[in-house]
Structure formats: C-alpha cells, structure tokens
Amino acid sequence: MDDRKRNYIDGEWVETSSGEEIDVINPTTEEKIGSVPVSKEVDVNLAVTAARRAFPEWSETSVEERASYLNSLSLAIKDRAEELARIITQEVGTPIGYSRMAMVGTPRVVARSYAKILEDFSWEEHNRNSLIVKEPIGVVAMITPWNFPLHQIIGKVAPAIAAGCTMVLKPSKEAPLNAFALAEILHDIGLPKGVFNLVSGHGREIGEALARHSEVDMVSFTGSTNAGVRVSELAAPSVKRVSLELGGKSANIILEDADIERASSSAIYSCFGNSGQECSALTRLLIPENKRSEVLEIITNKISRYSVGNPMDEGMRCGPMVSKSQQESVTSFISGAMEEGATLVAGGEGMPDGLERGFFVKPTVFADVTPEMTIFREEVFGPVLSVTTYSDEEEAVALANDSEYGLSGGVWSEDIDRAMSVARKMRTGQISINGGAFNVTAPFGGYKKSGIGRELGIHGLEEFLETKSIQS
C-alpha cells in the first residue's frame, strides 16, 4: 500500500492543512492501492511562495547546470523504470508493456532531449540596434491528467527546468502516485529546493486556486476542453500565460490507393492504444465507399484476437478504464451509438467475456457512422472506433475537418506526395503518414478546441520563455 501523507514543498515533505486523503483505486481489481493528501488553498499558497522564492537564483543558473539536472533526471527514470511502469499500470490500467515503452520510456527520452536542446539553443540575437533576449517566464502551475500521467508531467517539468522556471505541480487524483515517485527522484538528484513543488488534491479546489493565483506567471494544463476553458477564465484576470493541451476527435483517412491490409490493421492500434484513453487517438476512420467490406473484414478479424484483461499480464493489449465513472461514460457512448443507428461491427455493451470485475469495456467498432452521430463528434476516451465512408478525396478532407477539435490525424496512401497534400489540408496539429512514428522533439498540440500552445521540442521550451528587446 502506497499511502502518501505529505506534499513536497520547498525541498521537504510537508503535512497538509486538511489531514484528509484521496484513495487511489486499481481499476483492474477495484481495490485501494494507496492514497494521497487533500490539499487546500493554504497549501497551494505555501507551494507558490516556495517557487517564487526560489525563482531569482534558479533563473540565473547556467545552461550547463540545468542540462546536467535533466540528464540526471533521465538516468534516474531509467533506474526506476520498472517500478514506475508498475505504478502507472496499477493506477491507470495501462498494459504493462505499453507502460514500459510509452509511460516511462518516452518521459525518459523527453528529459534527455531537453538537455540536448540546450546545447544549441539561442538565448540571444541581434536585430539592428536591438538585443533580443529570451528569459524564463517565472513560476509555472502545472495541472496534469491521468491517462499519460508521467509523460504529461515530464512534458512540462523538463522544459521548465531547461528554461529556468520554478514550478508547482498538481497531478490527477486518479493517478497521482507516479508524481510522488517523481518528486523523490528530483529530490535525490539534488534539484534545488523550491524549484519543483508538488500538491495533490481536487482540481476544483487547488487546481482553480493555482489557475487564479496572482503569483503564478503561467498555467500549463492538460485535460478536458471544458476544464481548459475554466482554467482560462480563472487565469484571465491576472493576464497570465496559459498553455492548454485538450481533447481530440482525430480522423484517420485511408485513401483508395493505400495498402488496405496494413492501414486497416494499424487503425485498430491507432485508436485503441492505452485502452483508447488517449487524447490523440485516431478514433474516426474515414474509408472509401468501395473499400468498406474489405476494411471491415480486416478489422473484424484483427479485433477478434485483441486481448482484453489484466494489464499486468505480459502481452495484454487492452486494460480497464481508469475508473468506474469512465467505464460508465464509455458504455453510454456505445449504447448511444447503437440507438442512433450505427452498425455494430465488434464489441458492444457489457463486460468482455471472462471478466467479472474491473472497469472494463469491450473494444468496440461501429460502421456507417454519420457526422450527426454523437460518436462522430464527441470524444469517447475509450476503445471505440467509428468508421465512416466517403465518395472522394475532397469529401474525406471535409469529413476530417468537420470537428471542433484538431489534435491529431492520419493519412494512408502509396503516393507520398498525395498523402502529404491531404495532410496539409487537414486542420489539426499533428499528422502521421502511413503510420509515421511519434517524434518527441516535434511540437505537439492542437488547433481549435484542442488547445493553445505546443509541448515537446524547441517549441515546447519556448512556451516557458519571455522575449525582451534591449535597444542601444
């Protein structure tokens, strides 16, 4: 049992003002695996004060020193990789193999990437009689989600360290234990006190307190679009910078000249990764009308062998939803799609065969999904793929762009130039062509209601910087 009783503030583990706790539940077993403290606004104030006090000295540290901390962080994550992967699998329900690769391996690489970026990053440039200087923005509040908990944290913490910012992290209450392990790591590598601070609790209380705090210079938030709107509203009176990575309803276009077998097989994994609990999942599959039967036959055969069960079992592809409420939400989308007339291809309502407990849903595929249906428009955040046919390339692009979101996307074609042309027409922040691999140094973020700003790479670093012009 991993019971955490204290926040991490100013380099020390500090008792909270409430004495209350939040239980952390394993979504596979429905049993308690730990707890974290409930913080109040007074605890937030302590953390922000510590970060503000640490900022002047930390912001003046050398680039080499900050790079050293980032390399140490990457190595420490590697040393505790198996422990962290198991924590996340127990908190979120992510299959253990995917936890090792994406939940822990990616954050380790991201931390190291920022040390590398610092080697060549230009902090100053001359423009006629002006010196253009980039400086750390200040104290950053970080509010992170449960679906990729450590990755989303490192995606903020690493560039903040690189920039010379100090920070206060509020992790999700569903998956907070990995954040406490990270605080231990940052303490052990000797990060100066006050640079990183951790407070846990309920978003509507301490998340909102952080967003409106007058001593916070920036809020970096990842979560639902509705919550992101609320963060923006609270941050507006103090005119602080807000970076938002929000929801998605991303389209995956298979053009008629694509490798249909490969594209159709990939479509399952592009939607069902992390049991479908990915903001960038390609949940809308757009296919040519004359390829409908072929695509659905491939998907049906593949999904029949898609393993669902205990995520700690090696090779398991799909685990549970993170919570009972998430299970109920995904189930309601499945029921609603059936009521609205979508054709059920695989999955459906109820628990997967052989499972009697845990927050599981059946990996589900619907065909004949039309733009007015709920599952075409709203983010399900579970293993539910909707398939829609189109008549020509122009309609495919129009369908892809027919969304209030614009986070990710995919295009499949044997003609790379054609695929690139379609990708350029899609109003979304990141697109893979023929399953192109995720790049941790490329900017990640969305158009429209999918967010503001970018994470990862140089673009992610620049979110944490101010620009000053000095004339002489």
pLDDT number for residue 304 = 84
Q: Is 251-441 in CATH node 3.40.309.10? A: yes
Query: Tokens for 48?
Result: 């922000």
The pLDDT confidence band at residue 305, using thresholds 50, 70 and 90, is confident
The amino acid at residue 6 is R
pLDDT number for residue 306 = 87
Q: How far apart are CA 410 and CA 253, in angstroms?
A: 6
Q: Under 8 Å CB-to-CB from 411, ≥6 apart: which residues?
A: 252, 253, 255, 419, 422, 423, 426, 431, 432, 433, 434
| 3-class SS letters over 117-173 | HHHHCCCEEEECCEEEEEEECCEEEEECCCCCHHHHHHHHHHHHHHHCCEEEEECCC
Query: Tokens for 45?
Result: 């104030």
Residue 148 in this model has a pLDDT that exceeds 80? yes
pLDDT number for residue 2 = 85
List, for residues 49-64, the tens digit of each pLDDT value: 999 999 999 999 999 9
Q: Which fold has domain 2-246+450-471?
A: Aldehyde Dehydrogenase; Chain A, domain 1 (3.40.605)
Considering the chain, what is the average pLDDT of its residues? 97
Q: How far apart are CA 390 and CA 405, in angstroms?
A: 20
The pLDDT confidence band at residue 88, using thresholds 50, 70 and 90, is very high
Average pLDDT over residues 456-469: 97
The pLDDT confidence band at residue 464, using thresholds 50, 70 and 90, is very high
The domain segmentation of the chain, as residue ranges, is: 2-246+450-471, 251-441
Tell me which of 91, 174, 208, 245 is the catalytic residue.
Answer: 245
Average pLDDT over residues 325-333: 97
Average pLDDT over residues 103-114: 98
Average pLDDT over residues 20-47: 97
pLDDT number for residue 315 = 86
Average pLDDT over residues 351-367: 95
The pLDDT confidence band at residue 1, using thresholds 50, 70 and 90, is confident
List, for residues 164-177, the tens digit of each pLDDT value: 999 999 999 999 99
Q: Is 261 labeled as catalytic in the residue annotation?
A: no
Tell me which of 279, 318, 455, 463 is the catalytic residue.
Answer: 279
pLDDT number for residue 72 = 98
Q: How far apart are CA 395 and CA 397, in angstroms?
A: 5
Predicted model pTM: 0.96
Lowest mean pLDDT segment, chosen from 98-102, 293-297, 303-307, 331-335: 303-307
Q: Under 8 Å CB-to-CB from 440, ≥6 apart: which residues?
A: 106, 109, 110, 113, 456, 457
Q: How far apart are CA 362 and CA 341, in angstroms?
A: 19
pLDDT number for residue 207 = 96
pLDDT number for residue 260 = 97
- 35 backbone dihedrals φ, ψ, rounded to 5°: -155, 160
Average pLDDT over residues 220-244: 96
The pLDDT confidence band at residue 44, using thresholds 50, 70 and 90, is very high
pLDDT number for residue 4 = 94
Q: Is 60 labeled as catalytic in the residue annotation?
A: no
Q: How far apart are CA 460 and CA 152, in angstroms?
A: 12
Q: How far apart are CA 134 and CA 300, in angstroms?
A: 53
The pLDDT confidence band at residue 3, using thresholds 50, 70 and 90, is confident
Average pLDDT over residues 393-419: 98
The pLDDT confidence band at residue 198, using thresholds 50, 70 and 90, is very high
Q: How far apart are CA 190 and CA 68, in angstroms?
A: 11
